[in-house]
A and B are shown apart, each in its own frame.
Chain A
Amino acid sequence: EVQLVQSGAEVKKPGESLKISCKGSGYRFTTYWIGWVRQMAGKGLEWMGIINPGDSDARYSPSFQGQVTISADKSISTAYLQWSSLKASDTAMYYCARFHYYGSGGTDAFDIWGQGTMVTVSS
């Protein structure tokens, strides 16, 4: 079964660092990109960025550039999203999703989603 399994919920204080993970299984991890999507409570989906696990080429939404870092370790089929200094406004659900890069012959969309990681930042 093709799936993405994300790390568990986190509760952090402002200023702390955090790295959440997304582990792929059931497919060749380096064949597809992995994207990260934020969803704040009661709000819509926001694209944060994507990474090619094969060569760690990462692309960011201008809204999130410099605010987060996306990385991947292809040896363990895992992608990461990290913050160096959390803010209360980072409180949200974060989803990873498998992404067929545009024009690569796939769906040109996010076709497999993780279950989400809830991040709460509060003093």
Chain B
Amino acid sequence: QSALTQPASVSGSPGQSITISCTGTSSDVGGYNYVSWYQQHPGKAPKLMIYDVSNRPSGVSNRFSGSKSGNTASLTISGLQTEDEADYYCSSYTSNNALVVFGGGTKLTVL
């Protein structure tokens, strides 16, 4: 069982917006602004898309945005494109025994 809870799948049509949630506890997502999001295409290494809840690394499209409310972080992708179809993982610092926790991942399908 993953420490952070994500929906198994989400889908959207090109041009639409979708949001992926990532729910934790006050020991991780809710307690710190250290949430990051990763995109992984099949057979490829993950790629950092969002760090510190809402910051985009250089080169990442501004169609990707992040936010947090309470113990739930969210990744929003606007203007969906076919190349956005991938798996997305959230991650957070945790003050529990571990240091880093990942979510179980969400498969995004662009219909």
A61 touches B100 (CB 8 A): yes
**How many A-B Cβ pairs are below 8 Å?**
70
B51 touches A107 (CB 8 A): yes
A111 touches B51 (CB 8 A): yes
Give the distance to chain A from B111, nearest Cβ to Cβ, in Å: 22
A110 touches B45 (CB 8 A): no
B89 touches A108 (CB 8 A): no
Sorting the interface of chain A by its residue count into under 10, 10 to 19, 20 to 34 or 35 or more gives 20 to 34
Number of B interface residues at 8 Å Cβ cutoff, please give it: 27
Once bound together, how far apart are the Cα atoms of A102 and B51, in whole Å?
Answer: 11
Of the residues B91, B98, B101, contact of A109 by C-beta under 8 Å:
B91
**Do A44 and B2 contact each other (CB < 8 Å), given the known contacts A107-B55, A108-B34?**
yes
Question: For residue A114, which residues in chain B have a CB less than 8 angstroms away from its CB?
Answer: 45
Question: For residue B91, which residues in chain A have a CB less than 8 angstroms away from its CB?
Answer: 45, 47, 109-110
**Do A110 and B36 contact each other (CB < 8 Å), given the known contacts A44-B103, A44-B105, A102-B93?**
yes
Of the residues A45, A61, A111, contact of B98 by C-beta under 8 Å:
A61
Asked if B97 is an interface residue, CB under 8 A from chain A, the answer is yes
A62 touches B102 (CB 8 A): no
Of the residues B34, B45, B89, B105, contact of A115 by C-beta under 8 Å:
B45
A95 touches B104 (CB 8 A): no
16 further interface pairs, Cβ-Cβ under 8 Å (given A44-B89, A107-B55): A37-B46, A47-B99, A50-B100, A62-B97, A62-B98, A95-B46, A102-B34, A107-B48, A107-B51, A108-B36, A109-B48, A109-B51, A110-B48, A110-B91, A111-B57, A113-B46
- A interface residues (Cβ-Cβ under 8 A, vs B): 35, 37, 44-47, 50, 59, 61-63, 95, 97, 102, 107-111, 113-116
23 A-B pairs (CB sep. < 8 Å): A35-B100, A44-B2, A44-B105, A45-B38, A45-B40, A45-B46, A45-B89, A45-B105, A46-B102, A47-B99, A47-B101, A50-B100, A61-B99, A62-B97, A102-B34, A102-B93, A107-B36, A108-B34, A108-B51, A109-B36, A109-B52, A111-B48, A114-B45
